[in-house]
Structure 1
Amino acid sequence: MDPQEPRPPSQPGPYSQPGQYPPPPPHPQGPPPGSYPPPAAYPPPGPHPQQWGAPPPYPQQWGAPQYPAQFAPREPRTIPAPAGTPYHRLARTAKHAWWRPIVGTLFLGAGILFITAGVAVAWEIVHGLITGEISQPQGNDIFPSATENLALTLVMLGALTPFVAFTAWLVQRRPFWSVASVLNRIRWRWLLMCCLPGLGYLALSLGLGVLVDAIFPNQDAGPTDDGGSWVGFGAFVVPALVIILLVPFQSAAEEFLFRGWLIQAVSAYGPDQKDGPRQWIRTLFRSPWPGIVIASAAFVSAHGYTGWAMADIFLFAVMLGWLTVRTGGLEAGIALHAMNNLFAFLLPAATGRLDGWDDQGGAPWTLLVSDIPCLVFYAAAVVWLARRQPIARVS
């Protein structure tokens, strides 16, 4: 057959029935499919352990996650008084305990001794390095210069202001400057405003003093009523600069200690609850007056006045304590205290009597009589200013 010629299709052969397939080999893990027994009936469901739809109880309240100890939020170092707390109650915080005011007062007393002694020793060393001489104390005077003795005393007292604030922060665990005001800082604008009534206090005090001396010329003279004359500008300028620069710090330190720390320490013992047994005791210690009276008595004992002069300085301290609570801070007390001390030191320095700057003794009763109207004037003027100004009285 020619290769180019088409090839006819092949014809299929006759159909033959295939033989029977051999049986499959046995299944390695059991009978082949189709030979499994019918499944057994499932057991009926038992009772649910709780009502349908009620989630299982959680070990803690919703919204209060519990963190591991290393991730738990730390407690703040200081805790301020609650909002709306008056000045004399600023030490009554969540961290208050009966022992904190006592321990703080003892710590403060020990620190005062340490700081004043340290300043005196450091001053003595610097004085020796500059002058090349070792001073020989004579009585209460360490150095022969009255100006240097006054400067040393003012620096020793002025250094106590930050230490009082540090004691409140360390022992009572409250804000550092919570001793200053209800805003935990010194309100400088308000302090400067209080200097205006302070000038009026000085002017009124001088006028009434002259008037009383004219009416009662035979009264015993006070310790600063001896004569004196102008020493000249050259001898006055150095003591004046020392007094003007350092007296405000000394006055502020005494206010922080007596009108600040002591009033707040005593008032911290007043309970927060207004009801309970012995209600009169609770009411008494919740008021500022126990702290004001105790702080004023301590202020008098820290000075060397006697007789009517003690009564006068006690009323002075009580009035400043009341104004401190009334205005919510120490600014009114610092202003009057500083201006009164400036006048008390500048006048002897101008008349050549600075040697007796630390002489404190008695005074005639006319001093108390003439000073009462001055104190009333200053208190009324400060309260009037506080009403016209947005002065915070509570925290």
Structure 2
Amino acid sequence: MFIQQAFKSLHEWWRYLVGFIIIFLASQLGSIPFLIAVMFKVVSDGGDIESIQDPNVMMTVLDSNLTLFLMLLSFAVGLFAIYLVVRYLHRQRFVTLTTSRKKTDWGRIFFGFGIITVTTLVVTIMDYYSNPEDYVLQFDLVPFLILAVIAIIMIPLQTSFEEYLFRGYLMQGIGVLAKNRWLPLVLTSVIFGGLHLANPEVDKLGNIIMVYYIGTGFFLGIMTLMDEGMELALGFHAGNNLITALLVTADWTVFKTNSVLKDISEPSAGFDVIAPVLILYPIFLLIMAYRYKWSDWGGKLFGKVEEPIVIAEENNPNSTFIE
């Protein structure tokens, strides 16, 4: 099973605490170039350096493509830190943090990517033609191509960092310590959603948007536990963020990009905010369950996590794990 993979590595509680601290500090170090670039720009323009204490101001000082790249750089550094922590602090093969299968299933990654990409395109196109007054076509070839290069490279690194941290490292770490599946599902989902409190969408739409963020955490966690691997979550998360960044932006979103469309409507926290959690996510889970023959929902979401029995083979220094 996916969580049980961690038993085959060094999994003492203090290693996860130290590892999490290292990952957090690395991601913070990765944000320093963005801060330096913003400070340099403000000073060179004769502005007040204290103004950058406002996150909204920081996001508008630099060119939007440069801002996106520097903002995502911290996630790339954090992802590299996760790799180092897993390989050298836990002595764990990175593939076992990704999946319970012998190797990463790229077909699952592309399926997760595709299902949200198609859905986002269809929903956005339908809304564009239903409410054309809510959008402005802002396509500009050169800035868009620069955006596309940055987004295609950096956004999968950003989403992979979040998935490997929450659905991988913390899911396995909490699971082997708590010896169950429901606690890591709940904790990683709530923490994942809580970290989005700083997003400008929360200020604009109110705390109701947290239902979407936490619900998304549960959705990604459920598909990881049911599928015994992160591949679907990796693809889905990357597709969601990448297509959104390229397709549509707004002044009140965390990603302000040179996308094809700009949403100029006044946002409101209506049913559409929680509709994905209540309608789309269950449909997606049913489609995945049918495609990948999921079963034993109760056991995989709420069951115990038992340490494999180790049988020492004669004249073999390696141990055999019986799950």
Does the CA-based 8 Å contact 1:147-1:239 persist in structure 2? yes
1:251: which partner in 2?
159
What's the offset of the Cα at 1:186?
Answer: 3.2
Q: 1:370/1:207 Cα in 2 relative to 1: closer, same or farther (>3 Å)?
A: farther
Looking at structure 2, the residues matched to 241 and 333 of structure 1 have their Cα atoms a distance apart, in angstroms, of: 23
Q: 1:386/1:248 Cα in 2 relative to 1: closer, same or farther (>3 Å)?
A: same
Q: 1:386/1:238 Cα in 2 relative to 1: closer, same or farther (>3 Å)?
A: same
1:57: which partner in 2?
none
2:114: which partner in 1?
196
Q: Are 1:157 and 2:75 matched, yes or no?
A: yes
What's the offset of the Cα at 1:88?
Answer: 2.0
Q: 1:383/1:226 Cα in 2 relative to 1: closer, same or farther (>3 Å)?
A: same
Q: Are 1:146 and 2:64 matched, yes or no?
A: yes
1:75: which partner in 2?
none
Q: Are 1:115 and 2:21 matched, yes or no?
A: no
Aligned partner letter, 2:195: A
- Of 71, 81, 89, 1:171 maps to 89
What's the offset of the Cα at 1:159?
Answer: 2.9
1:253-298, Cα deviation, whole Å (9 max, x unpaired):
111111111111110113xxxxxxxxxxxxxx42x22111111111
Q: 1:160/1:186 Cα in 2 relative to 1: closer, same or farther (>3 Å)?
A: farther
After TM superposition, the structure 1 = structure 2 runs for residues 1-395 of structure 1, keeping only pairs within 5 Å, are: 86-93=1-8, 95-117=10-32, 119-120=33-34, 124=37, 138=52, 139-141=57-59, 143-183=61-101, 185-203=103-121, 205-206=123-124, 227-270=135-178, 285-286=179-180, 288-303=181-196, 304=199, 305=202, 306-348=206-248, 353=250, 356-358=253-255, 363-387=269-293
Which is higher, the Rg of structure 1 or of structure 2?
A: 1
Aligned partner letter, 2:4: R
What's the offset of the Cα at 1:92?
Answer: 2.4
Aligned partner letter, 1:338: A
Q: 1:166/1:177 Cα in 2 relative to 1: closer, same or farther (>3 Å)?
A: farther
Q: 1:205/1:355 Cα in 2 relative to 1: closer, same or farther (>3 Å)?
A: closer
Q: 1:176/1:93 Cα in 2 relative to 1: closer, same or farther (>3 Å)?
A: same
SS at match of 2:10: coil
What's the offset of the Cα at 1:375?
Answer: 0.9
Q: What is the aligned residue count? A: 270
Looking at structure 1, the residues matched to 234 and 97 of structure 2 have their Cα atoms a distance apart, in angstroms, of: 13
1:46-65, Cα deviation, whole Å (9 max, x unpaired):
xxxxxxxxxxxxxxxxxxxx
1:85-134, Cα deviation, whole Å (9 max, x unpaired):
x11232223633232222222222222223333x547x849xx8xx9x95
Looking at structure 2, the residues matched to 247 and 380 of structure 1 have their Cα atoms a distance apart, in angstroms, of: 27
- The alignment-based identity, stated in percent, is 17
- TM-score, with structure 1 as normaliser: 0.58
Which ranges in structure 1 are unaligned for 5 or more consecutive residues? Answer: 1-85, 215-224, 271-284
1:168-214, Cα deviation, whole Å (9 max, x unpaired):
22222222342211247532233123333233442565489789x99
Provide the aligned C-alpha RMSD in A.
Answer: 3.6
SS at match of 2:96: coil
SS at match of 2:98: coil
Q: 1:346/1:200 Cα in 2 relative to 1: closer, same or farther (>3 Å)?
A: closer
Does the CA-based 8 Å contact 1:209-1:370 persist in structure 2? no
1:292-333, Cα deviation, whole Å (9 max, x unpaired):
111111111221334221101111110111111221221111
**Structure with the higher strand share, 1 or 2:** 2
1:43-84, Cα deviation, whole Å (9 max, x unpaired):
xxxxxxxxxxxxxxxxxxxxxxxxxxxxxxxxxxxxxxxxxx
What's the offset of the Cα at 1:230?
Answer: 3.0
- TM-score, with structure 2 as normaliser: 0.70
Aligned partner letter, 2:86: A
Does the CA-based 8 Å contact 1:205-1:374 persist in structure 2? no
Q: 1:95/1:249 Cα in 2 relative to 1: closer, same or farther (>3 Å)?
A: closer
Q: 1:343/1:199 Cα in 2 relative to 1: closer, same or farther (>3 Å)?
A: closer
Looking at structure 1, the residues matched to 62 and 27 of structure 2 have their Cα atoms a distance apart, in angstroms, of: 25
Q: 1:356/1:367 Cα in 2 relative to 1: closer, same or farther (>3 Å)?
A: closer
Looking at structure 2, the residues matched to 205 and 374 of structure 1 have their Cα atoms a distance apart, in angstroms, of: 11
